Amino acid sequence: MTARVGFIGLGIMGRGMARNILRAGFPLTVWNRTPSRMDPLVQAGAQPGKDPADVAAQSEIVVLCVSDTPDVEEVLFGAHGVVQGARPGTLVIDCSTISPQATVAFAQRLGERGVHMLDAPVSGGSEGAEQGTLSIMVGGDPEDVDRAMPVFQAMGKAITHVGGHGAGQTVKLVNQILVVGNCLAMCEALLFAQAGGVDLEKCLQAVTQGAAGSWMLSHRGPQILRRDWRPGFTIDLQQKDVRLVLGEADALGVPVMVSSLVFHLYRTLQRRGLGHQGNHALIQALEHLSDIVVGTEEAPSHGEAA
C-alpha cells in the first residue's frame, strides 16, 4: 500500500522534490509559508494543507525542506507544528541542511512522542531536484531508512545511509566544504583564463574532460561565461551552510581556511544586495578585487574600470 506523504517547504529545491513524489504516485499533501507556491502542485493533484499540523494529520511520512535550523524547529514544534498533528509511528524526513547537533536533539524530542525522524539533506541543485537525480545523505535508524526508501527513490538517485541521527547533516556539511572550495577554485581558474586571453569556451571544454573536471565546473562554469546568475542554489542559502560548517568546525577544533575565506567573499556580495543570485556568482567578488570581468571579450588592464 502506498504511503500518504506530506511535504512542507516548496522553495527552489522543495517544489521539484514534491512534484517528483507526486509523479511517483504517492498521495501528497503540501504546505508552504507562502501559500501561492502550493498552487502548481495542487493543480497537479496534491492536496493543500492548512498548516504543518494539518499536513502531519493527513500523512504517514512528512518531508521537510526549509531554510535553516530555527525554521525546522518551528515547523516541527511550533504552535501549529508537525507534532500537533502527527500520530505515533509517523516518520519525519528532514531534507533541510541544518545543525547536526540540533538534529540529534530534534530526533530525541520527536521520539519522546513516538514520532520517528531521519535527517536526509540533499545535493544536486535545482536541476537535480527537478529531475529526481539528487544525492541524498541519510542519518537515522536502518528500519526507518528502509521505510522511507520509496520516497527517497522518487527524489534522488544516489541514496546513502551514512549513520545515526545527525550523520546525514554532518556528511552534508562535508559536501558543502567541497562545494564552496570547488566553486572558489573554478572562479579563480576562470579569472586566470580571462586574464590570459584564451578562448573561455574552448578552455572549459578542455579542462572539464580531464582531472580538473567536476559537477560545479560543468554546470556552473558555462553560466558564468554567459553572466547568468540564476540560482541552482542561492548565495544566501550557501552562506547559511558555510556558517554551519564554521560553527561545527569550531566545535570540533578543525581548521577550515578555504570555507572561511569563501564565507567572507560571499559576505561582500550580500552587502551589495546579491544574496539572491546563484552561488557561482562568487566570481563577482574576485572580479571586484581584480578589475577583470569574466565573459567579456577582453580582460581590462589592472586598475581599469570593469
Catalytic residue ranges: 172
Q: How many residues does the chain have?
A: 306
Backbone angles phi and psi of 158, in degrees to 5: -105, 100
Which helix (H) or strand (E) segment holds residue 159: the answer is: strand 156-163
Helix intervals (H) in the chain: 14-23, 39-43, 52-57, 69-77, 100-111, 125-131, 142-155, 167-196, 200-207, 215-225, 235-252, 257-271, 283-290
The Cα–Cα gap between 244 and 179 comes to: 14
Among 295, 288, 294, 249, CA closest to 269: 288
| CB-based contact 26:154 (threshold 8 Å) | yes
| CB-based contact 290:191 (threshold 8 Å) | yes
Cell of 100: 547536526
* Residue-by-residue DSSP string for 87-146: PTT-EEEE-S---HHHHHHHHHHHHTTT-EEEE--EESHHHHHHHT-EEEEEES-HHHHH
